[in-house]
Structure 1
C-alpha cells in the first residue's frame, strides 16, 4: 500500500475553495481539487456532514459525537479542512460573506433556492467578490442555465442514472429490467464535470479578474457520457436497448468466461483478430470470409462469441493473461481482493493508507488517477474531524482571536 504523502505543492496550490457540499457528488468534485493542491475548506453544519455516520467504521475509531467519520466520508473528504459553521445564524452568514471576499471558489449542491433563502445566492456572493467562481450541482441543473421542468425535484445517483439514459442501455440481452451501474456514476460523473468546469472558470478568472456561475446537472452529465445513444437515435430513430456485456458495433468485444471467473477482451479493429485466433490455435479463422472483417463477424456474432467463449472457458484468468495480455486489449475481471493483491495498483499509488483517528490500523482509500510530473497530486492528509480547523481557518481569513471566541460562545462555530 501507499502511505499518505506529505503535503506538497500541487498544480492548484494557492486556490482557495469554500466547500458547502454534502453527500457524494459535491464532495467528490472538491476532493478532486484538493488532491491537486487546492486549499479546500469544508464548511459543515453543527454536528457535521451527515455522511460522517456512514460506514464502514474501523474498530476503535472516534465516534461521530467525537467528530469522527466512517469510510464513506474518509474517502471523499481527504485533504480538506473542516469549519463547523451555523449558516442559519446571522453571524454565521456574515462570517461566510467575509470568507467569500478572500476565496477563489465556492461550491454547493443544495436544492434550487436554498442558498437564495439564506441570502447567499450567486448574485449576493459575486457582489462581495467579482472574481469568485460559484459552482453549483443539482439533479436537473440551475434555472440560471435553463429551467428544467424538474428543477425542484431532489435527485440522487439512481435518478440520474435512470433519466440520463445509462440504465436503459445497461443490462442483459435480450432486454430485461434496466440495470443500475454498480458505483455511483450518477454522482461521480457530474462531480468530474464540475471539477473540470471549476478549473476552466478559474483559468479565465485568473486572466480577466471576473468570476462566473458554473452549473452542472447530474442528469445532463450522465447523458453526456451516453453520447453514443444520442447520435444512434438521431440517425435511426430507434432507441438503443441494453447491450449486455458486448458492444453494439464491434465483435468480439466484451466479457467471456474463464475457468475461474471472467475476462474482458476486445477486437476494436481487424488487426487484433489475427493474433487472437492464433493464440486460440485457430489461425484459419483469420482468413475465413465469415469472420475476416468486423462487418462479417457482426453478421455472425453468436458464432464468433461462442468460438471465443469456448476457448477462454478452458483457461484460467492467469493463463489467459499470459496468452493475451500483450497482444490484444484484455483484462481479467477483478474483485476487491484481486485489486488489493495486484502489482499495478501498488505501482500506480491507487491504494493509499490513511489514518482514521482512534483506530488501531489505517484505512485504505482510492488514490487519485491524475499524475503530474512537476506538481504531483495525491492523498496527503486524512479527512478532518468535525470543525477540526475552525479556529485556524477563520484566522487565515483575518478573524481576530476575540472574534473567533465570540463566535464560539454564541455557538456559531463548533
Structure 2
C-alpha cells in the first residue's frame, strides 16, 4: 500500500473518466495525495490504453505512454456499468468517496441510473464533477449540449484558434491538447472549492466545466478587446498585438522568444545585440513609437537576432531581457532547469527494460509536496483490494468475476 503523502491525503475520488480531459484533472488530485480510484469498463479499459505510443521492446504488456502520462498515481478497478449488478456496486461504493468525476456525454450517467441526483441520495456530501464539451444543463442549457467534442472543437469554438496562426485566413490549432487540459485545470480548482464547502457544511454540489467555456476563459483578451476597443481579434502570427518586440524571432539555427514591454528592456536588448543604432530611430526609441511601428520593430530586431545562434543569443540576452530559446523535447531533456524543478519524472513500466519519462508536477508545495509515486495502473489491478476494503465478501467478488461484472 502506498504511503500517504501530499496536501490532499485523505481525499477519496471515484474517477469514471477516460481519454484526456477527465484523467488529466483527476491526476492533478492524485499527484497531491488524493486516493483516486479509476473505474474502467471490462473490454479494453480507458481508450488511452490503446492510443500509444508504445515502446518497441514492449511486445507483451503494450504500455501506452499516453495512458501513463495522465493516469499515474491512480488505482484501477473494472466494473461493468452495463449490468445492473455493476451499477449497484457503484451505488454501494459512493458513500465512501467525497468526489465523483466523469466526462461522459450529457445524459449517459442519467440513463445508467447513476445521475448526480441518484448518487447524492446515497451521499449528500458528494461533490459530483463533470467535464463536457458544451457543459451540463444543470448549470446552463447550451443549444449544443448533446454535441460530442474534442480538443480541436473546443479550441475552434472557444476563440483560441481564431487568434492563433499567421493571419486571419490560416487559423492554427495550438499543438498540445489545451482544449482538454485547460478545462481539466479549471475542474480541479472547482472540485477543491466544492470539497472545502462540503467539509464545512456537510453539503455537496454539482461542479461543471464546459470545454468551450474554459478555452474562452484563458483566451480572455479577445473579450475585452471587442468590448473596450471594438476590435474583433484575429491571428497575429508570432507577435503581440499591442507590444513590440514581443514574440518569436529567428536565430541562425532556430528561433527564440523575446519580450520587451518597457523601454528599459528594449534599450538593453539593443545593447546586447550590438544594435544601438535602433535607438536613434525616433519611431523605435519609445514604447509608444514601437507600438505604432510594430512591423518595423519586428523586422529590425529579427535581422539582428538572425546573425546569432540560439546559444549565442542565450549568452547575450539570458537574464538581461525576458528571453528564451524555442526548445524541442531533446533540448528540454538536456536543460538543467527541468531537472532542478523535477519536471521529468521517471516511471518503471512492465515489459519495458528501461525507465520511462513523463512530465512532472508543476505545482510545488514546500510542506506537503506532490509526488509521482508509480506508473498508471494495470486495468483492474486494484479491483479486489478496493472492493474488499469496501466490505464486499470474497464470495461476492468471485461470483461477480465469474459473471463478467468485475475484472
TM bucket, shorter chain = over 0.9
Q: Which one has more relative contact order, counting CA pairs under 8 Å at least 6 apart?
A: 1
Q: Work out the CA distance in 1 between the residues paired with 2:243 and 2:231.
A: 19
- Whether 2:26 is the aligned partner of 1:30: answer yes
For 2:329, which of 317, 336, 361 is the aligned residue?
Answer: 336
8 Å CA contact 1:7, 1:380 repeated in 2: no
Q: CA deviation at 1:347?
A: 1.1
* CA offset digits 1:204-225 (Å, max 9, x no partner): 1111111100000000000001
Counterpart CA distance in 1 for 2:191 and 2:150 is: 21
Matched, 1:273 2:269: no
Superposition deviation, residue 288 in structure 1: 4.4
Structure 2 unaligned spans of 5+: none
SS of the residue 1:210 aligns to: coil
Select 1:86's aligned residue among 61, 80, 83.
80
Q: Is the 8 A contact 1:19 1:108 kept in 2?
A: yes
Q: What does residue 3 of structure 1 align with?
A: none
Which whole-Å CA distance do the structure 2 matches of 1:111 and 1:203 have between them? 27
Which of 49, 58, 67 does residue 52 from structure 1 map onto? 49
Equivalent residue number for residue 314 of structure 1 = 307
Answer whether contact 1:62 1:69 (CA < 8 A) is retained.
Answer: no
Q: Over residues 316-342 of structure 1, what are the superposed CA-to-partner deviations in whole Å (9 max), with x where a residue is unaligned?
A: 101111111111110000001111111
Task: Describe how 1:349-360 pairs up with structure 2 within 5 A.
Answer: 349-360=342-353
2:132 aligned to 124, 138, 155, which one?
138
Corresponding residue of 2:99: 105
Instruction: Write out aligned runs for 1:2-401 (5 A).
Output: 8-47=4-43, 48-61=45-58, 63=60, 68-173=62-167, 175-283=168-276, 285-286=278-279, 288-401=281-394
Q: Secondary structure at the match of 1:403?
A: helix
- List alignment gaps of at least 5 residues for structure 1: 1-5
CA contact (8 A) 1:164 1:220 kept: yes
Say what the alpha-carbon RMSD is for the aligned residues: 1.4
SS at match of 1:101: helix
- Shifted more, 290-299 versus 122-131: the winner is 290-299
> How far did residue 49 of structure 1 move?
1.2
Please give the per-residue CA displacement for 1:107-160, whole angstroms capped at 9, x wherever unaligned.
Answer: 000011100000000000011000000001100000000100000000000000
Using the TM superposition, name which of 279-288 and 344-353 deviates more.
279-288
- Gap change, CA 1:82 and 1:315, over 3 Å in 2: same
> How many pairs are equivalent?
405
Q: Distance in 2 between matches of 1:8 and 1:314?
A: 54
Q: TM-score, normalised by structure 2?
A: 0.97
Report deviation, 1:280.
Answer: 2.0
Structure 1: distance between partners of 2:86 and 2:59: 27
Measure the CA separation in 1 of the matches of 2:53 and 2:347: 14
SS at match of 2:138: helix
Larger mean CA deviation between 277-286 and 148-157 belongs to 277-286
Q: TM-score, normalised by structure 1?
A: 0.95
Query: C-alpha distance in 2, partners of 1:277/1:229?
Result: 31
Following superposition, the deviation at residue 402 of structure 1 comes to 2.1
Deviates more, 1:323-332 or 1:355-364: 355-364
Q: Quote how far apart the aligned CAs of 1:237 are.
A: 3.1
**Which of structure 1's runs of 4+ aligned residues deviate more than 4 A?**
none
Distance 1:235 1:300 in 2: 22
Distance apart, 1:7 and its partner CA: 5.0
The answer to whether the 8 Å contact 1:60/1:358 transfers is: yes
